Structures are given as C-alpha cells and as structure tokens.
Structure 1
Amino acid sequence: MFYSLIALALSLAVAAIPAPSEHLHGSVYLQPAESSSFTKLIGETPVADATTPQLLTCQTANCGSCTSWLVNNLGMSNCFWAGSFTSVQLVDPSRFFAPGVIDIAPENCINWLAIPQQGICYNIVGATFHQFGSFNI
C-alpha cells in the first residue's frame, strides 16, 4: 500500500515537470508570444512586396515597435547588426526559407539561436539580442 502511494506521488511529480523547449540555448530561449502587439515599424524600413521574406526585430515584447529587415539575400555565414531587440518574427509568406534557417545572436556573432518558424512572434527570454544572420541554408 505504502509503495503504491509513493509510486503514484512520483508519477504525478514527473508529469508536472514541463517538457524542455526545443529552442533552449543555455538559459536563453525563444518563447512564442501569447498574442502579438505589433504596433508599428520604426527606423529605416525597406520597401518590399508581399512575398519578400523579412525579419522583424522588435524593441518590446510581443513584437511591438519593430524594425523590418529584408532577409532574402543574406548570404551564408554573415552577421548583421540590428540594434537591441527583445522579440522577433520572421515574415515569409512565400516560404522562401525552411524553418530554423534565420538565426539571431546576443552579441559578438556567437551563441546563435534559430528562429524555429515563420509567422510567429517570439519573445527572447534571458537576454537582449543585437544581431541576425543565416547559417543553415
């Protein structure tokens, strides 16, 4: 009886532990936003048609106050400075990129973290990021 009670308690404890995110990179990871509060684009915004892939780097959580970057001609293993951003979204209506091809980094072009899917706003948890690039084409 006592053994059954312990087994039940352990099974409940294990079930309560959330599964690790596939996007973890140490203590820094991407958290899909509950809702996007996309408000406006700021700074220099490139003009693009509706099918050109763009990366939104945003100063506030939930993709608010964003700068848009054209990402269809990044080249391989290039690192681009984007200012400080705490949320990010890849807008790629034509599916130019496979998932996980566009990466972001906190600084010094190291510790890259892939953006897993297009069309989803991701809040960056654990750091402020400054750079983007493409390394998995």
Structure 2
Amino acid sequence: MIDHIGIKVADFERAKAFYDRAMEPLGASLLMMVPPEYTDGVKVGGYGRDRPVFWLTEGAPAGEPKHVAFTANTREEVDAFHKAALEAGGRDNGAPGPRPHYHADYYGAFVFDPDGNNVEAVCHRPA
C-alpha cells in the first residue's frame, strides 16, 4: 500500500553514514541522490533494494520522531541490522527477538537513528 516514505534529517552526512551501514544487512543501499538543481540545493537521497523507497531530506526534522520498520528476509538479517545500526552510532531501543504480542512469528529489533527516529528491522517468517 505504501509506495515510499521520507524523513527529514538534521545532518544529512551523519544520517547517510548511519543508514549506509544499517541498511547493508537488509540488502538495501543508497540508490539515488536527487540532483541539487531539483531541490534548491537541499540534499535528498533514496534507499532501497531495487528502487528508492526510503528517502532522507536534509533539513530540520518536523514534529515528533518517526517510526519506520524495514522488512528483513531472515531473523539473521534482523540481528545483523541491529548490530550494524549500533556500530554506526544508533542507540538501542529493543534488542533482536520475538515480539509475540504482535503475532506469533514477529521477530524485530529497534534502534534510534541519529535524529531520534525509532528504526526497526522485522522478519515475519517462522523460525
């Protein structure tokens, strides 16, 4: 149902460094930077696996921090995402593990990104 989503980040280069590391275990990477002539010089970049679906835009984040969950294909990817995100400067917000209160096969991990957004990797497949 959702085609793509974006968030504003206070320090684009710091956020890019974080997401470059955190997305790698999920098989995602920065796929596109919008040319500055289309953004009035604001840095805008899109992450994804086969097309950009998660966008970072340079600027003051508006309102409360956001929650974004990324699909992992395996529980091992969730574990690797959490480890990479912490190594990239994220703060732990929930170690990898089952979350049966969501559903029986829900396995997720949560971190706060450099702007305080709650970023999650989740696998819905049975163990």
TM-score (norm 2): 0.26
Tell which structure's C-alpha radius of gyration is larger: 1
Q: Which has the higher helix share?
A: 2
